[in-house]
Structure 1
Amino acid sequence: MVARLFRLRVALAGGLFRGSFGRAVRVTLGLLVCVGAAAVTPFAVAWLTEPGELRNVLDILVGGVVLAGAFFVPLFDSRRNLAPRQFSLFPAGAGKVAWSMLVTTVVSWSFVVLVAWLVAMYFARPEWRAAGGLAVAALVLAALFAVVAVRVGAGLSQLLVGERFAGGLRLSGGVLCIALLPLLVFVIAESLRSDTNQVLVDAAGVVAWTPFGAAFAAIGEAGSGDTAAAMMRLAVVGGVAVVLAIAWFAIVARSLNSIERPRDVLSARRGLGWFERFPARPAPVIAARQLTYWQRDPRYRIALIAMPIAPVAIVVAFLVAGADVMLAAALPLPIFMLLLGWSQHNDIAMDSTAIWEHVASGIRGWADRAGRLAPALLFGVPAAIIGSSVTVTFMGDWRVLPAVIGMNIGVLCIATGVASVFSALMPYPATRPGDSPFVQPQWSGSGSGTSQTVSMLVALVLSVAPVWVSAAAIADVSFIGNMWALVFGIGFGAVVLLGGVAIGGKIFDRQGPEILAVTQIFD
């Protein structure tokens, strides 16, 4: 089995060069550039830094990013990885398939690039010679961890998500990458602005005790003579690698004894925009339709343009009144998150020409509620993370970043959860598709002002908890306090969000005809 899969891996690796001569040249140049960049980067770091704490910190952080990518990239995008189900018809047991796939993972261009980088790291760090054989063992252990991480990440994605939901998972991964880029820029900027590089040192201290950075931290510990600490860090990497290996064998056994629900081969999957990236299930389809509305419907675009105006006006008023700069810097984003989530409180009426399909087809209320929140969350969560890094930059203290992120995401989740309830509980006629976004229908039922006022008040009251906890963490800065504010903000917001979807779904199931009557009153 190993020999057969080895030949298959070699054929797949060589398949990149097949085709025209120009394609072969481009692939060759691309691979040479990747391998060359991986080999040159450690020497560039050695040329720019002196042996000491800063170089050790950079090695831990860069190594942690590389090994974390080995797990998370296949988790979000497993298209280029063999799936265990592809070997279900082979006359081999689950253990043999798992072992063969694990061993032959080294026959890939990505592993060649990884090895080139690790070898270059060893030769570019003369100070690692003091660690002796422990340095080599740590690098080998890092390579083995990467191999197991790739297999487990891809295996989990293929088993739990499958082809039906792969597009949505890739989209989520892309959104997270975009959201994390400002944090990376913020950390680099703060480290360059500081003479002590305290941001990088603190970050490396955390990464060094994770399986992603422990191997590189162990080399530094062994070089300084602390062999006991080095062995503890290697134990972290080795222990997690063993756990992942056991998980990989379990994943293969489960994959070979289960099948994915087949997709309809007759359904169109090209030229459908957002619908291509979501599976054919009620909630994802509604989410794709809502994202299409946000992209094309002027009613939503006008709202998105108008929402940032209120936070800016409030900040200007606070500054004119002589408020503290830190307070003025922290206010705009949570206000924007509140307005973004609250704007969904009458989304069911904005969809008045299509809501009858949900009622007539018997779609569950929770599916309608969850699908409609997708645009606000997919746009709001990255905006919360990006905006939090900008907010902390103006506040001038990077240590409060977790508290600020927890506050903003918590407010967003609370506002969307409350809006999910009031969208079904107190709908009112909205501007019809195709009309001017500035026209609001008038009717004699329960006024729009009541729905808007009550939903905003409820969202404000529930937002007090995460804002209070985060404000306390910002006022009295500590690592534990800020991490607690992050966990509490996200956790409390998630509870309110899930509760809002459940309650709103129940209301939708019970009052579907009444909701339809309100939304269709002017159609």
Structure 2
Amino acid sequence: MVARLFRLRVALAGGLFRGSVVRAARVALLLVLCLGVAAVSPFAISWFTEPGGIRNVLDVTIGAVVLALALLVPLFDSRRNLVPRQFGQFPAKSGSVALSMLVTTIVSWPFLVMLVWLVALWFARPEWHAAGWIGPVALVLAALLAIVAVRFGSGLSQLAIGDRYAGGLRLTGGILCIAVLPLLVFVVAESLRSDTNQVLVDAAGVLGWTPFGAPFAAIGDAIAGDDSTATLRLGVLAGTIIVLAIAWFGIAAKSLTSIERPRDILSARRGLGWFERFPAKPAPVIAARQLTYWQRDPRYRIALIALPIAPIAVVAAFLIAGADVALAAALPLPIFMLLLGWSQHNDIAMDSTAIWEHVASGIRGWADRAGRLAPALMFGVPVAVIGSSLTVTFMGDWRVLPAVIGMNVGVLLIATGVASVFSALMPYPATRPGDSPFVQPQWSGSGSGTSQTVSMVVALVLSVAPVWISAAAIADPSFMGNIFALLFGVGFGLIVLLAGVAIGGRIFDKQGPEILAVTQIFD
């Protein structure tokens, strides 16, 4: 089985060059570029840094990122990876298939780039030779971790997600990539502006105890003479490899004994816009419809254009009053996040007559609540993370980036969670489709002012906690304080969001007919 799969791997590697001459030249140029970067980057760091100190910190940080990508990339995009289910017709046991796929992973271009990088590291770091046996063992374990991580990530993605949800998973991965960009800017900016590089040192200290940074931190410990700590780090790395390998064999066995639910080949999958990218489940379908609304409905476009006006006005007022520039820079984004999430407090009324489908078909309330949050979260989270990098740029201290991200994301999640409750609890008639977005129907019931005021007050009160914690971390910019502010802001926001979806869903289930009556008063 190994020999057969080895020949298949070689054929797949060579298949990249098949086709036109232009395509083959483009692929060859890309591979040469990747191999060149992998070979030169370790020497480039050596040219600009001295042994020990910042060089060790960079090796741990960069090494951890590279090994983490070996797990995350195939987890979010496994289209180009072989999966055990493809070998279901072969007369081989699941263990043989899993072992063969694991061993032959080395016959791939990505692993060749990884191998070139590890070899270049060994030759670019002559001081590593003083680590004795720990140096080669650490690099070998790093390569093994990359192999097992690739197989585990791609296998888990194919088994748990499958082709039906692969598009949404890739979209999530793309959003996360955009969200990570400010963090990379933060690391680069901090390394350029600081003489002590304390943030990088603290980050490397944390990453050194993860499986991804452990091999490179272990080499540094061995050079310093701390063999016990180095051995402990290698134990963490080896244990992770064993756990991922066992999980991979289990994934392979499950994949070979189960089949994915087939798609309906007669259903149309082209020309449906957002509906092509979401599975045919209640919450995802509602999310796709809401995204379509945001894209085409002028009522939503006007709201998105109007949302930035309030933060700009607040900042202008603070600057005119003589407030500090750093304070003025920190205000616009959380205000925008609050308004973006709060703007969903009457989203259910925007459906007009379409809401009857939810009530008549018996869609669960939580599915309606969760699906409606997709546009605000998919748009708001990247804006919160990217905008936070611009905020700290004006504030002049990149050390507070985690706290600023935690504050902005937390406020967004809290506001959307509160809006999920009030959208079902206190709906009021909204502008009908096709009417001017500036026209608001008059209604003698529980007015729009009450719903807007109460929902805004609740969102503001719940937002005090993450804003307070983040403000304390910004005032005293320590690494652990900022990390705690980030985790608290996101965690507290998620709790409020999930609670809002659950409570709003229960209200929707109980008051479905009343909600339908409110939305159709003028139809």
TM-score (norm 2): 0.95
Map of 2:208 onto structure 1:
208
Q: Which moved more, 1:46-55 or 1:184-193?
A: 46-55
The CA distance in 1 between the partners of 2:482 and 2:303, in whole Å, is: 33
Q: Which moved more, 1:390-399 or 1:330-339?
A: 390-399
Structure 2 contact 414–494 (Cα < 8 Å) conserved: yes
The CA distance in 2 between the partners of 1:382 and 1:102, in whole Å, is: 36
1:473-506: CA deviation from partner (whole Å, max 9, x where unpaired): 3344444443333333222221211111112112
Amino acid at match of 1:87: F
Map of 1:450 onto structure 2:
450
Structure 2 contact 365–505 (Cα < 8 Å) conserved: yes
Secondary structure in structure 2 of the residue aligned to 1:339: helix
Map of 1:311 onto structure 2:
311
The CA distance in 1 between the partners of 2:372 and 2:25, in whole Å, is: 47
1:125-159: CA deviation from partner (whole Å, max 9, x where unpaired): 22222223322221111111000111111111111
State the aligned residue count: 523
1:299-346: CA deviation from partner (whole Å, max 9, x where unpaired): 212211211221222222233334444433332222111111100011
Amino acid at match of 2:121: M
How far has the Cα of 1:74 moved from its partner? 0.6
Amino acid at match of 1:49: T
What are the within-5 Å matches in structure 2 for residues 470-489 of structure 1? Answer: 470-489=470-489
Structure 2 contact 186–401 (Cα < 8 Å) conserved: no
1:265-311: CA deviation from partner (whole Å, max 9, x where unpaired): 22222232222211111111111111122122222122112112212
How far has the Cα of 1:226 moved from its partner? 2.8
The CA distance in 2 between the partners of 1:137 and 1:93, in whole Å, is: 31
Q: Which runs of 5+ in 1 are unaligned?
A: none
The CA distance in 2 between the partners of 1:473 and 1:241, in whole Å, is: 36
Structure 2 contact 78–157 (Cα < 8 Å) conserved: yes
Map of 1:277 onto structure 2:
277
Structure 1 contact 183–386 (Cα < 8 Å) conserved: no
How far has the Cα of 1:177 moved from its partner? 0.4
**What percentage of residue pairs aligned between the two structures are identical?**
80
- Is residue 2:513 matched to residue 1:513? yes
- Is residue 2:47 matched to residue 1:63? no
Map of 2:43 onto structure 1:
43
Amino acid at match of 1:520: Q
Amino acid at match of 1:441: P
Amino acid at match of 1:152: F
How far has the Cα of 1:415 moved from its partner? 0.9
What are the within-5 Å matches in structure 2 for residues 93-112 of structure 1? Answer: 93-112=93-112
What are the within-5 Å matches in structure 2 for residues 138-153 of structure 1? Answer: 138-153=138-153
What are the within-5 Å matches in structure 2 for residues 336-375 of structure 1? Answer: 336-375=336-375
Secondary structure in structure 2 of the residue aligned to 1:352: helix
Q: Which moved more, 1:285-294 or 1:128-137?
A: 128-137
Map of 1:491 onto structure 2:
491
Structure 1 contact 131–222 (Cα < 8 Å) conserved: yes
Map of 2:128 onto structure 1:
128
Q: Which moved more, 1:266-275 or 1:393-402?
A: 393-402
How far has the Cα of 1:184 moved from its partner? 0.8
The CA distance in 1 between the partners of 2:205 and 2:144, in whole Å, is: 23
What are the within-5 Å matches in structure 2 for residues 107-506 of structure 1? Answer: 107-506=107-506
- Over 3 Å counting, the alpha-carbon distance change for 1:18 and 1:345 in structure 2 is same
The CA distance in 1 between the partners of 2:166 and 2:334, in whole Å, is: 32
How far has the Cα of 1:366 moved from its partner? 1.2
Secondary structure in structure 2 of the residue aligned to 1:354: helix
The CA distance in 2 between the partners of 1:139 and 1:267, in whole Å, is: 50
How far has the Cα of 1:206 moved from its partner? 1.9
TM-score (norm 1): 0.95
Structure 2 contact 415–459 (Cα < 8 Å) conserved: yes
